[in-house]
Amino acid sequence: MLRAVSRTWLITGGSRGVGLALARRAIAREENVALVARGREVLEIAAQMGERALGIAADVADPQAREAMVSETVARFGALDVLVNNAGIHRSGRITRLHPDDFAAVLDVDLAAPWSMSRLALGHMQAGAAIVNIGAVVGLRGFPGDSAYGAAKGGLTGLTKVLAVELARKGITVNLVVPGFTDTEMTAALDPRARERIIAAIPIGRTATPEEIATVVDWVAGTPYMTGAVVPVDGGLLAAMPMS
């Protein structure tokens, strides 16, 4: 049995891709959604969605902005039931070339921000609430040149499991959804040959749509007996990859 409707969502990285697709699903059920993104276009996106949507133009890398995201959501809707830590950045480069500032920036947005957002959100969450973190295949398998992103997403896996245990008695679930190769602005910028190689390794033989990933995130957020789970939505990519 899924949780009752009329929940309030806070979705970081909510102006495009998976975050936006998820917000649209919630709005279609007449649930409340706060969409967070760095660009001011999120304000117009939320306005077009109607009174149940709140746009917050802010950067999750800013600790003060994180506090404002939560407080503005609760002030507008009176509750916070689902936190989706979806915002992320990617900086690539072999360890001898990747600048330490880039490594720190990725960990701040992709790992420290979800920890901080979860901590802030908990003060407003009741039993039945959910935290869904968005991971990555590189957090479970190693890819050359992805030390920053892999470290952050691998850490997010560990954070998910720890918080799941800590919050279980409060009735709050914490799970990790691991998208595979998805059609987003980030993947669209890839070299065509690299894109072809990745798709060739996916057993299903194609990329995912943001809506397909959002469908699973939505389901995970409403499943009360699953917590601490790692849920791949990757077209079989992880199943086909060697463990070492």
Q: Is the pTM of this model over 0.75?
A: yes
Compute the distance between CA of residue 117 and CA of residue 236 in angstroms, rounded to an integer: 31
Query: Which tokens is 184 given?
Result: 């987003």
CATH superfamily of 8-231: NAD(P)-binding Rossmann-like Domain (3.40.50.720)
User: Cα separation of 238 and 231, whole Å?
Assistant: 11
Asked whether 142 and 184 are in contact (CB, 8 A), the reply is: no
Spell out the residues 6+ positions from residue 36 whose beta carbon is closer than 8 angstroms to its own: 10, 11, 12, 13, 14, 42, 56, 58, 60, 69, 87
Q: Using the 8-state DSSP alphabet, how is residue 112 labeled?
A: I
Would you kindly state where each structural domain of the chain is located, as residue ranges? 8-231
Confidence at residue 195, expressed as pLDDT on a 0 to 100 scale: 81
Instruction: Kindly report, residue by residue over 226-235, the tens digit of the pLDDT.
Output: 999 999 999 9
Residues 156-205 pLDDT 10s: 999 999 999 999 999 999 999 999 988 877 676 677 887 888 899 899 99
Mean pLDDT of 64-71: 96
User: What is the rounded CA–CA span in Å between residue 151 and residue 142?
Assistant: 10
Kindly name the residue from 9, 77, 103, 149 that is annotated as catalytic.
Answer: 149
At 101-140, the pLDDT tens digits run: 999 999 999 999 999 999 999 999 999 999 999 999 988 8
What residues form DSSP beta bridges with 99?
none
Torsion of the alpha carbons at 190, 192, 193 and 197, rounded to the nearest 10: 70
Q: Is 225 a catalytic residue?
A: no
Token pair in block for residue 40:
């001011």
